[in-house]
A and B are shown apart, each in its own frame.
Chain A
Amino acid sequence: MKKILPFIFAGALLATACEKLPDTDKLDNDYLVYTNYDDDTDFKKFSTFYVPDSVLIIDNSSNKPKYLYGTPASDIIIANYVSGMEKAGFVRTTDKESADLGLQISYIEDTYRFRYFNNYPWWYGYPWYWNFGYWGNWGGWYWPYNITYSYSTGSILGELVDLSDTPSTSKTLRVVWTSYITGLLNNNGSLNTTYVQKAIDQAFAQSTYLKK
């Protein structure tokens, strides 16, 4: 018996000594909302914002950027971001050159191209990502905070860029607020517009610093 006991112990130990996974069925499987902001930015100094009429689609397309434009989904996404900004006290303008803030919105349809970049968010490597040149004669992008969260399909990315400074190729364009919303797909792969509305509202609700 004494010779066998170590083997009984070792067998029982090897068979069972691992973490019991918690019951993830309890999770509600609703959306998730991340927000980041630049804590050196005083949002009270901004008055107006400009938002493009299209939502950039991030997918595995190889030759040109694709956009959602004039669809029910893009209308809901843009309208809810605009509503959130207006409730926060900012005024929408159609003049991009005079706007204090720019709001660029992307929809992640596919994560094929994503990989990790040191000191840059993962969408930085997408070849058809928003061009800083769209917002003026800037020299590049700058995210003043770390973005460490992972990516997944069916997500919405909303970013506020600081346009209050005079553009110059020697300056980088500062991204002062990021909202990343995921878990927005129905079981059939379509976008759950109820979640979209609630999640965008939540992004503004948890960003109490984002006030005029």
Chain B
Amino acid sequence: MKTLKKYTLRLAAAAALIVGFSLPANSQVSLDAYYNVDWQLNIPSNNYADKVSGWGMNFDAGWYLTPDIAIGTFLNYHTNSKYIDRAVVNLSDETAVFTDQQRSLYQLPFGVTALYRIIESDWQPYVAMKLGAEYAYTSSYYNIYKSSENSWGFYMSPEIGVRWYPWANGMGLHAAAYYSFSTNKATVMGSELKNPSNFGFRLGLAF
């Protein structure tokens, strides 16, 4: 699965590059729209799984209502983990388990974006607010077992970033920094995930 994923990723990246560099000269694909595909580094702030990781991607597409203001849609996902050393975990008043565990938190928010483009040129800095829903899969791996819980919550994420179109072929680069907050709640192996928040940045391709 890992190998398949690795090669599919490479194939998708190569396809994007080929398509991008074979386009006719333009500062970007459409002056009325924006698209980006990003890798992201996520710094979670929660007590469940807070190890920094780069296991995530972000996808954006938006349309300019005016030269400055756009609405769009987004989807991103990220996995963070945390190793918990061997300890007694109280699962209930009556039940206890002694083990080590590898916790995992998979977050997948999606929704709508409101974006303000500060400058309209090859450099396009912007501020944005993302609102939507977050699906989270909270799990713990221990010994040969796994415990998990699904949850849904409200999601909001302010973001600042820039799209840069240095080439005359329609493709550019995208960088952004974000904060996010969601109202997801879950309890796995006696530990609670509550209202996870994140800081992070994204690097990717803009079209």
Which A residues contact B (CB, under 8 angstroms)? 1-2, 4-5, 8-9, 11-13, 15-24, 26-39, 145-146, 149-150, 152, 182-183, 202, 206-207
Contacts and interface: CB of A to CB of B under 8 A. Distances in A.
B19 A1 contact: yes
Contact of B104 (A19, A27, A146, A183): A19
A32 B101 CA distance: 11
28 contacts: A1-B20, A2-B29, A5-B29, A5-B35, A5-B61, A13-B75, A15-B9, A16-B12, A17-B57, A17-B77, A19-B104, A20-B106, A24-B102, A27-B100, A27-B143, A32-B98, A32-B145, A33-B99, A34-B95, A34-B96, A35-B95, A35-B96, A39-B93, A145-B94, A150-B145, A152-B144, A206-B88, A207-B96
Interface residues of B, number: 50
Contacts of A21: 104
A109 B98 CA distance: 22
B154 interface: no
A12 B12 contact: yes
B19 A4 contact: yes
- The dominant DSSP class at the A interface is loop
Contacts of B172: none
A28 B137 CA distance: 24
A121 to B, nearest CB: 12
Given A1-B19, A22-B103, A30-B86, A9 B98 contact: no
Contacts of B106: 19-20
Nearest to B36: A9
A157 B95 CA distance: 15
B59 interface: yes
B108 A9 contact: no
B83 interface: yes
B30 A9 contact: no
Given A23-B81, A32-B98, A1 B8 contact: no
B96 A19 contact: no
B79 to A, nearest CB: 4
B23 interface: yes
A5 B106 CA distance: 26
